[in-house]
Structure 1
Amino acid sequence: MIKLYTDQSFLTEANRKVVFPLLFDLWYLPNTILLEKYQLVDSVESCDIAVIPVDLAHYGTTKMIHSFIQKALHAKKMVWVYSAGDYGQTLTYPVYTFRHGGIGSRLDKSTFVLPAFISDPLKHLGHKFESLHKESKPQIGFVGHANNSVSKRIKELLIYLKYRFDKITAKLKTDAQPFYPSSSKRFKLLKLLADDGNVETDFIFRKKYKGGFTNQQDSNQGTTVFFENIDRNPYTFCLRGAGNFSVRFYETLAMGRIPFVIDTDFKLPLNHNIDWKNHCVIASEKQVVQKLLSFHNSISESDFKKMQVENRNLWLNFLEREAYFLQVYTVFKQKINEV
């Protein structure tokens, strides 16, 4: 059992959307399996780990954050912080930070990347997992926001300039992020694949994020089209959005398919015990077509199917929400025992 202390006054209905995900599973909708591993206690002195209860941006002032962390460190306790959103924030304190993305080469070993916590896509489609056969040409799919229009490029630049202004004026406290026009980048890289005769592509380009659907029925249908595309293609093209991570990456793994992901200096979850090169194909922007062809031509039919099975199991056992925090438990139980 790992004992967690937090400021429970923040565990309110108003904070449901910004609370540390594990605390949500222990407090709001109690998960009986996780409650066998984690226990909330009422004092920092009796805990193993002190947890700032909500996203750093919603906890309050810098003084409040400093006070909470210093109180825990003075009691010789480990500290967890949660930095949500596209960018995330690195603190200078000796704490463990849980976040979705960031520039991988700038993140240290105390950073734990959170997967995108998604529902099982196969349940949405209503069928069981089956691996696909290897064809002579790589088959790669994509459904999503990919737009190279001048207006879109201007919009992405304006959004980034607003982010920079908010950061300079201290309205937004996040790590610095370079400009990355993800929609137009996506369009250009997808076109390279589509124009190559050695690659079979199955692309549906959307001009707006999530298709721009305005009603639930259209949104549900769009989701079905999205997952059907992943299901029928062994590879799915994955590229970061505003933040340096891809939700599609995790959806592809959950469906037992192979993410073909563009290297944008990202960090992946649990990389201390997951050998990620066995579960995805990572390509630089300059070698998109070459990397896909090289990988596909070098893998055997049996290993091709095995990789799909292992990707489905990886999501079930490491990246699904409950499974992820069970893995985190194992990591920190060892750290506690070593103290």
Structure 2
Amino acid sequence: MLKLYTEQEYLIPENRRFVFPLLFDLWYAPNTNLVEKYQIVSEIANCDIAVVPVDIARFDAGKKQQKLNDFIDSALNLNKKVWMYSAGDYGKSISVSNQVYTFRLSGFASKLNAQTFILPSFINDPYASFSKEFRTIGKLQQAQIGFVGHASHSFLKKIKEYLLFLNYNSRRFIGEIQTDYQPFYPSGVKRYQYLKLLEKNPEIKTNFIYRNQYRAGVKTEAAKKKTTLEFLENMESNPYTFCMRGAGNFSVRFYETLAMGRIPLVVDTDFSLPLDNEINWEKHCVIAKSNKIAETLIHFHQNCSSEDFELIQRNNRKLWQTHLEREAYFLKIYSIFKTDIQ
């Protein structure tokens, strides 16, 4: 069992949305399998790992930042490992010691340190709210790919994204927020451009539904249910799904595709994926450079046997269940750190 210490005064109802994800499953809604592997202790001297209780962005202002530094220093002085959580689209890794580990959703693979762990997007099982059960799709002569989501070629959309970028980075410059820097990336516009390139290729069958806003801008529960169903039906009926980063350098759709047992075609934006020392990601998805998206998909499809094509779908569904679902991910993290601490 791994013994975790954290500052329990932060584990209040108001912080449910901001806590280190594992703490949610140990404190707010105890998960039976995780409670068997992790124990929260009351004294830092008795722990294996000291866990910063909430998203480190909550410590950005003034004296709060000093509290974060003091927590880290107190753990390091006792030769304890430290886990931190950096939430949101951007995130930040703190490189003060090789004993300090950051868990975050995104970042640039070429810039992340060795103590960074990428978190999957913790989604619910899509089939739990879907009337169909998982099945594989047989290989067709043409690669068939789907997409439902926000993609726009509007010049006004690009301007809006740029203004949001300037606003964010001005706040970052004055120290109001502290995250790693990201260059401007108009994801909605680029996504539209790449989808159109796929549509124009006669060797690819496409099934795309374009939205002008995130989640089609719907407000009512009925409308949300309708658009969610359209999203799931599109993914279920196409063996490949187009995936690309959004504001942050990661894609929730990527994990939804795996959970559905489909094959992500993902644009390489120098992203990093979870548990990459254990998972050979090239066996689960098609990773394409932005200037060779169609060619990469066609080459993969032509060189994949019918048997392997369906096997990949089964393996992707299983991978999500055994490595990327919330409980499964932290059981894997337990195995990594338990071996390291022994």
Same fold at TM > 0.5: yes
- Note the C-alpha offset of 1:80: 0.2
- Note the C-alpha offset of 1:92: 2.3
1:87 aligns with 2:90: yes
1:110 aligns with 2:115: yes
Letter matched to residue 136 of structure 2? S
Letter matched to residue 219 of structure 1? K
1:43 aligns with 2:46: no
SS at match of 2:245: coil
Determine the structure 2 residue equivalent to 1:307. Answer: 312
Q: C-alpha offsets along residues 228-280 of structure 1, whole Å, 9 cap, x if unaligned? A: 11100000000000000000000000000000000000000000100000000
Any unmatched runs of 5+ in structure 2? none
- Note the C-alpha offset of 1:182: 0.2
Distance 1:47 1:210 in 2: 43
Determine the structure 1 residue equivalent to 2:340. Answer: 335
Q: TM-score, normalised by structure 2?
A: 0.98
- Note the C-alpha offset of 1:11: 0.2
Q: C-alpha offsets along residues 76-130 of structure 1, whole Å, 9 cap, x if unaligned? A: 1000000000000111222100000011110122100000000000111132211
Distance 1:90 1:328 in 2: 18
Distance 1:129 1:208 in 2: 29
Q: C-alpha offsets along residues 16-41 of structure 1, whole Å, 9 cap, x if unaligned? A: 00001100000000111100000000
| 1:165-314 matched pairs, under 5 angstroms | 165-314=170-319
| 1:10-159 matched pairs, under 5 angstroms | 10-59=10-59, 61-94=64-97, 95-159=100-164
Distance 2:225 2:327 in 1: 25
Q: TM-score, normalised by structure 1?
A: 0.98
1:321 aligns with 2:332: no
Q: CA RMSD in A?
A: 0.7
Letter matched to residue 13 of structure 1? P
SS at match of 2:197: helix
Distance 2:294 2:132 in 1: 32
Q: C-alpha offsets along residues 263-318 of structure 1, whole Å, 9 cap, x if unaligned? A: 00000000010000000000011001100000000000000000000000000000
SS at match of 2:215: helix
SS at match of 1:286: coil
How many residue pairs are counted as aligned between the two chains?
A: 337
Distance 1:140 1:124 in 2: 22
* Percent identity over paired residues: 51
Distance 2:228 2:333 in 1: 30
SS at match of 1:178: coil
- Note the C-alpha offset of 1:186: 0.1
Distance 2:133 2:10 in 1: 40
SS at match of 1:71: helix
- Note the C-alpha offset of 1:59: 3.6
Distance 1:250 1:64 in 2: 35
Distance 1:127 1:77 in 2: 47
SS at match of 2:210: strand
Letter matched to residue 33 of structure 1? N
| Stretches of 4+ aligned residues off by more than 6 angstroms | none
Letter matched to residue 329 of structure 1? Y
SS at match of 1:285: coil
SS at match of 2:57: helix
Any unmatched runs of 5+ in structure 1? none
